[in-house]
Amino acid sequence: MLNRGVFLDRDGTIIEEVGYLSRVDQFRFIDGAAKAVKSLNASGLKVVIVTNQAGVARGYLSETALQEIHCRMADMLRAQSARLDAIYYCPHHPIEGVGPYRMECNCRKPKPGMLDRAARELNIDLSQSFVVGDKITDLETGYAVGCKTVLVRTGYGLGSEEQLAGQPFQPDYIADDVLDASRWILEQNT
C-alpha cells in the first residue's frame, strides 16, 4: 500500500525566512510549525522537507553546515514530539555557483526531482499527497506531479499570493501559516 505525504518547503514555510540561512543560530521555527508537523505525524502522513539550498552553490554555506541546520531542526521537532520522515535538498544553481554545484539539475524546484525521489524511497503516492510552500515554485512542483498544493502567507507567501492571477494553475488552498495548512490537509485526509 502506498503512503500519503506532505511535502513542506523549509524557509518561509516552517522556519523563518532570513535570506540565506547559513548558521544554526539563525534558525527559528514559525509559530505553530512543530504542532503542525506533530498533527500530520499523528494522522499517519509522511512528512518530508523539500528545499532549494542554492546557498551551497553560491558558497554561503557548506553541505556540512546545512546538515547541522537540518539536524538541529529535527532535534527541535523531536523535543516537541514531532518528526520528519525525510529531508531532501537541492544544493545546485543553474547559473551561479562554484564547482559541481553550478549545474542544471532535476532536483531544483520547480522541477520534481526531490518529490520523485521521496516517492520512490518512502513509497508515497504523489497523486494523494500535498505540497506546502510560500513560493510559486513550490506550487509548480506539486502541480507537476499531481499533488494538491497549499500556499502559506508566511515567508514570501503574501507576495506570491499577489502573483497568482497570472499563473496557469491555482493552489488548492491558501493558508495563513503551516498550522492552518495542516488543519486543511487533515480535513482532506478523512
C-alpha cell of residue 53: 539550498
Residue 134 pLDDT: 98
| pLDDT tens sequence across 86-112 | 999 999 999 998 889 999 999 999 999
Q: Which of 76-80, 104-108, 165-169, 174-178 has the lowest mean pLDDT?
A: 165-169
Active site residues: 9, 11
Domains contained in the chain, CATH given: 16-188 (3.40.50.1000)
Q: How far apart, in Å, are the Cα atoms of 37 and each of 33, 42, 110, 125, 159?
A: 6, 9, 23, 19, 25
pLDDT tens profile 133-167: 999 999 999 999 999 999 999 999 999 999 999 88
Find the radius of gyration of the CA atoms of the chain.
15
Residue 1 pLDDT level (bands cut at 50, 70, 90): confident
